[in-house]
A and B are shown apart, each in its own frame.
Chain A
Amino acid sequence: MSCAVELHKVRVCYDAFCALDGIDLCVGNGEALGIVGPNGSGKSTLLKTIAGLLRPQRGTICVFGTEPLRLPRGTIAYVPQVEAVDWGFPATVRDVVAMGRFSHLPWWGRFGPVDRALVEEAIEAVGMTPMAGRHIAELSGGQQQRAFIARALAQQPRLLLLDEPTTGVDAATEEALRIVVRAVVARGTPVLMTTHDLERVDDWFDRLMVLDRRTLALGTPGEVAASGAYSAIREHTHTHGHLRVDHDPHEGHEAHPEVRV
């Protein structure tokens, strides 16, 4: 299998603290990879590194055969866990989704009928059509999340990176997202997605990566479940996950949970 995304001995550190070390990974086209692990295990850091937002201190990353920073515009769509945007920004849902097309348009290019159609299609796919004209501040958390996923879909990326898209959304929205993600994967686009929800990994992903700064397990959901690494994480998440008092946006900066707790 040729790799769409290939990591070789990747280490990523914030000053003295290394959030990831010795990560090897190969994700093929048309593959959905789920990434699970305790808080502070480097899940978000891994996605940011593949997106080219962080540079590894050691090791190499190839996305479609090249460095993330050298990719053509519009190759990667990344949906962060927490959107740190100004919710008062003058933009409707449709305006936000339209930004997904911007990376494909040259400076002199026109936002044409094809772009418009793709925007409406993406809004439809996440079930936001009735809210398309609403200002982003008028949305619930789950609706905001869907709007940002629609923006990523409108981009028609060659690689989709989703950071905990199902956190804080209701069951119906989660199922809608799963269908959307599987449709993207069916078109041959690799999807890397972090999640806390271990209940339905078989339905979401082709393979699962259990991460805790290092790769603890990597394989089909069935293989990972059998390996034991999975249940250790599950127990960890269930016993300690809810003890967290507040949300830390800098997940990667955190001390190692097993040291901290």
Chain B
Amino acid sequence: MMHALLAPFAYSFMQRALVAALIVGALCSMMGTYVVLRKLSFIGDGLAHASFAGIVIAYLQNIDYQLGAAVVAVLTALGIGFVHRKGRVSLDTSIGVLFTAAFALGIFLMSRQTRYTLDLQSFLFGDILSVTRGDLVFIVVVGGAVFIAAMLAYRDMLFASFDPVVAEAAGLPVKWLDYGLLVALALTIVVALQSVGIVLVAALLVTPAAAAYQLAKRFTPMLLLSAAFGVTSTVGGLYASYFLGSSSGATIVLVATLLFFIAVAFKRFRPA
């Protein structure tokens, strides 16, 4: 019985997928805490779609697609912050304008291509089972860098997320924290892209943290609970997809959604 349950992980591609699932699940859901608390749910979708332009450009220039995705996602994130601050439009509007622009640029460049061999499917929906050793190194290095930066800026980011006006008056670098968060989110999305794809990556940034928001009364427990939900979703989804023969990205997102509704129900019906 145990043997049968562990069977999937006898394959090296499953081992790599498991490591990717752990890191991506933890990173996305922890960064997702800020996304939910700052009401930025739209950003995941936005930066993921924007990174598509980077993938197309990388493909046309014959460079590493992850590098292309990362550069375009970070530039779009900075652009979103800049337009929001200088153009005096809401962050929401700024995201809406810039991500569609970047996505359109990707489609535009691709539509002018005659040699149409780019496998769009795998970028749109992701495939965690095809994670290579090189991909894993990218995930560990970039994910680790985002994690360390987030830990260092933890207190400042918490204050600036809760009460930016008072934090700024107290001398915290609120503007740079905002830009830093956008860049960290852009890199998080690129790290997660291969596992869940452009269409579904936003769910990993929002759903586990939204579930944790239902249950936690304090910030640190919310962060840890969100990470637990995130890892349960990615690892559980990966595992379930092996037996169900389903798309790993879609299964991961559905597991996260299930956890969210359990959290909502738990909060709703919990005895006072």
Interface residues, chain A, CB within 8 Å of chain B?
Answer: 51-53, 71-80, 83-86, 88-92, 95-96, 99-100, 102-103, 105, 107-108, 111, 135, 148, 151, 155, 157, 161
The 8 Å CB contact of A85, one of B153, B162, B168, B216, is B162
Q: Can you list 26 pairs linking A and B with CB atoms under 8 Å apart?
A: A52-B168, A53-B169, A73-B172, A74-B170, A77-B170, A85-B163, A89-B162, A90-B37, A90-B213, A90-B218, A90-B219, A92-B218, A95-B218, A99-B159, A99-B162, A102-B155, A102-B170, A102-B172, A103-B170, A103-B171, A107-B152, A107-B156, A111-B155, A151-B166, A155-B170, A161-B169
Query: Chain B CB within 10 Å — which of A51, A72, A89 has the most?
Result: A89
| Closest chain B CB from A67 CB (angstroms) | 12
A73-B169 contact, Cβ under 8 Å, with A85-B163, A91-B218, A105-B155: no
A91 contact set on B, CB distance < 8 A:
162, 218-219
| Closest chain A CB from B260 CB (angstroms) | 16
Interface of chain A, main secondary structure: loop
B166 touches A78 (CB 8 A): yes
Interface of chain B, main secondary structure: helix
* Interface assignment of B217: CB less than 8 Å from any CB of chain A: yes
A80 touches B171 (CB 8 A): no
| Closest chain A CB from B242 CB (angstroms) | 35
Q: Which of B159-217 contact A (CB under 8 A)?
A: 159, 162-163, 165-172, 213, 216-217
B144 contact set on A, CB distance < 8 A:
none
| Closest chain A CB from B145 CB (angstroms) | 15
- Please report the number of residue pairs spanning A and B whose Cβ atoms sit closer than 8 angstroms: 86
A99 touches B163 (CB 8 A): yes
B37 contact set on A, CB distance < 8 A:
86, 89-90
A90 contact set on B, CB distance < 8 A:
37, 213, 216-219, 221-222
Add 13 more A-B contacts to A90-B221, A102-B159 (CB < 8 A): A51-B168, A52-B168, A53-B168, A74-B171, A78-B165, A78-B166, A90-B219, A91-B218, A99-B162, A99-B163, A102-B170, A103-B172, A107-B156
Query: Chain A CB within 10 Å — which of B155, B168, B169, B222 has the most?
Result: B169
* Interface assignment of B158: CB less than 8 Å from any CB of chain A: yes
B165 contact set on A, CB distance < 8 A:
53, 78, 80, 84
Query: Chain B CB within 10 Å — which of A90, A95, A105 has the most?
Result: A90
A53 to B32, alpha carbons, bound, how many Å?
A: 28
A73 to B156, alpha carbons, bound, how many Å?
A: 11
A76 to B172, alpha carbons, bound, how many Å?
A: 11
A102 to B37, alpha carbons, bound, how many Å?
A: 19
A215 to B158, alpha carbons, bound, how many Å?
A: 38
With both beta carbons as reference points, the residue of chain A lying nearest to B174 in the complex is identified as A53
